[in-house]
Amino acid sequence: MLQVKTPEEVLALIQSKFQPLPNHTESVPLTEALGRVLAEPVTAEEYVPDFDRSTVDGYACRASDTFGCSDAIPAILTLAGQVLMGEGADYGLSRDSCVYVPTGGAIPRGADCAVMIEYTEDYGDGTIGVLKPGAPGMNLIFRGDDVFPGKVVLPPGRVLTAQDIGALAAIGKVTVPVARRVRVGVISTGDELVPPEKAPGPGQVRDVNSPLLTAMLTDFGAEPVNYGIVVDDEQLLRKKMETAAAECDAVLISGGSSVGVKDAACRIIESMGELLLHGIAIKPGKPTIIGRAGNKPLIGLPGHPVAACFVAQLFVLPLLARLMGRTQEAYTVTAELTESVGANHGREQINACHLRRENGRLLAAPIRSKSGLITQLAGADGYFIIERDCEGLPKGAQVQVTLY
C-alpha cells in the first residue's frame, strides 16, 4: 500500500526516479529556437566586437595628445580622414592627428579614445580643435569586451527568450542545439464524457481535460498527442495506455470519477512497470497516481479539470522539465488577499485567483466555487498555495501568486 505523499516528497521522487531523456538533442535554425530548451551550453567562438569601436560620434585620437586642453586652449589635431561604417580602419594613426568616427565605427591603431563631437571644433582647414581632454579607453569598446572565444554565453537547460535569440544572432550561432520536444500522450476516461464539439446528452459532460492538458503541454513546449476519450472499460483502457506508452515519452490519463476506473488505472500502470505514488496531500488533486515503465512516466490525474490542472502544473510540468533537462524557474508575484480563505488541515490547498490593481496595490481575489470548473478556470490569472498546517488566511494577507 502506497502512502499519500506531500508535494515536497513528490518533487523529490520525480528527481530521483526519472532521468533526462538520452540523445534528446536536435538542431533547429535560430529563427525557430524561441521558447525551446537549450540542450548544450553555447560557447562563443569569436570576439564580439571583432574590432575596437567607438561608442560615440566624434574623433578617434590618442588621449595623450589632448591632455591639458580646454575651451581656452584646444588641442589642435590634424584630421587624417574619416572612418566609414562597415569598413575597417586597418592603419596606424600618427601623433597629433585624429579621424572622424561614427558611433559603432572602427578606430585605427594608435587611437586609444574617442572624443565626442560636441567637445570639438572643426576649423575647416584640415585641423580639429579638441576642447576637453580624453582619457585612454574613453568612449571605446575594445575587441572582445563583450564576448571572446570560449566564453559561455548561455547555459544548458535555459528556455530561450527573444533576448537570448538576439545574443545568439550576435555571435553567429544560427543553428541551435535544443532538447527535443517531449511527446506526451493524453487520454481522458469516463463513460460520461463527450468531446467538446458534441452536445452532452442526459448525464453527460464535455471532456475538458484533453483540451486543457493539451494546451498546457503546448504552452510548456512539449508535444501533446491526443488519444481521445476511452470509456470505462479496463481492457480498452489498457490497450490505449500501451499504445500511448509505445508512441510517447510520457502518458497522462485523466478522469474516471468512478472508483473502478481509478483502480483500473493503478492495475494497468503497475502491470506496465512500477507504481511509484498513489495520492498527493494537496487539495484539490489528491487522487493522483504516478508510475513508470522504465524511464517513461505514466500518470493518472484526477478527473475534475481544476484538480487535473493543478496537478499538471505542480507535478507534471516539473517531471517533463526533468525529462527535457529544462531549468524550471517558478517566480511568483506578491498580492494582497481581497477576502479571507479557509483551508483544510493536513493538505496543502491550492486556490485559483484573479489579480487586479487598485491604488497601486496588487490584489488577489480568490475564486470560490462549489466544485465549479469553468468558474475556477476561465479568466483566472494564477494560483496561490496555502500551506499544509495553515487553517486559512485573513483578508489582506500577502500571498505569492504563480501566474498562468
Restricted to residues 231-250, the positions that interact with a copy of itself (CB under 8 A) are: 232
Q: Which residue, 380 or 386, has its beta carbon nearer to a copy of itself? A: 380
Determine contact, residues 107/114, Cβ cutoff 8 Å.
Answer: yes
Q: List the x/- string, 262-301, binding to a copy of itself by CB under 8 A.
A: ----------------------------------------
Q: Which is nearer to a copy of itself, 276 or 289 (CB)?
A: 289
Q: Which is nearer to a copy of itself, 21 or 373 (CB)?
A: 373
149 binds a copy of itself (CB under 8 A): no
Listed ranges 14-22, 204-212, 237-245, 270-278: which one lies at the site for a copy of itself (CB under 8 A): 204-212
* Residue 359 interacting with a copy of itself (CB under 8 A): no
Member of 11, 25, 28, 35 binding a copy of itself (CB under 8 A): 35
Indicate which single residue of 110, 129, 177, 211 sits in contact with a copy of itself (rule: CB under 8 A).
Answer: 211
Buried/exposed code over 27-39 (b: 16+ C-beta within 10 A; e: otherwise): eeebeebeebbbb
Of these, 77, 248, 343, 380, which contacts a copy of itself (CB under 8 A)? 380
Q: How far apart are CA 160 and CA 144, in angstroms?
A: 23
Report if residue 318 touches a copy of itself, rule: CB under 8 A: no
**At residue 165, what is the residue type?**
I
Q: Which is nearer to a copy of itself, 73 or 374 (CB)?
A: 374
**Taking CB under 8 A as the rule, does residue 325 contact a copy of itself?**
no
Count of other CB atoms within 10 angstroms of residue 336 = 14
CA dist 174 → 8, 42, 386 (Å): 40, 11, 45
Three-state DSSP state, 357? strand
- Could you tell me the sign of the dihedral formed by the alpha carbons of 198, 201, 205, 209, in that order? negative
Residue of the chain from 203, 342, 360, 394 that contacts a copy of itself (CB under 8 A): 203
* The only residue of 371, 387, 392, 395 in contact with a copy of itself, by rule CB under 8 A: 371
Site string for a copy of itself, 93-132 (x = CB under 8 A): ---------xxxxx--------------------------
Q: Does 372 bind a copy of itself (CB under 8 A)?
A: yes
Q: Which three cell numbers stand for residue 196?
A: 467538446
Please tell me the count of residues contacting a copy of itself according to CB under 8 A.
100
Exactly one of 172, 228, 392, 396 binds a copy of itself (CB under 8 A); which one? 172
Pairwise CA distance, residues 171 & 49, whole Å: 9
Window 41-60: residues binding a copy of itself (CB under 8 A): 44, 48-51, 55, 57
Pairing of strands 382-386, 120-122: unpaired
How many Cα atoms occupy the beta-carbon half-sphere of 91 within 13 Å?
Answer: 12
Stretch that binds a copy of itself, among 7-15, 17-25, 63-71, 146-154 (CB under 8 A): 146-154
* Helices 209-220 and 317-324: angle between axes, nearest 10 degrees: 40
Site for a copy of itself (CB under 8 A): which residue of 202, 342, 360, 394? 202
Q: Is 79 in the site for a copy of itself (CB under 8 A)?
A: no
Q: Does 358 help bind a copy of itself (rule: CB under 8 A)? A: no
Query: Considering the rule CB under 8 A, would residue 161 count as an interface residue with a copy of itself?
Result: yes
Member of 2, 73, 85, 236 binding a copy of itself (CB under 8 A):
85
Give the Cα separation of 39 and 177 in Å (integer): 6
Which span sits near a copy of itself by CB under 8 A: 8-16, 63-71, 127-135, 212-220?
212-220
Determine if 88 is a binding residue for a copy of itself (CB under 8 A). yes
Residues 258 and 304: their CA atoms lie apart, in Å, by: 12
* C-beta of 277 vs 364, nearer to a copy of itself: 364
Please report the DSSP string for 291-326 in residue order.
EEETTEEEEEE-SSHHHHHHHIIIIIHHHHHHHHT-
Alpha carbon distance, N-terminus to C-terminus of the chain: 35
Q: How far is the CB of 249 from a copy of itself (least distance, A)?
A: 20
Separation CA 154–CA 167 (nearest Å) = 9
- DSSP letters, 187-224, are EEE-TTEE-TTSPP-TT-EE--HHHHHHHHHHHHT-EE
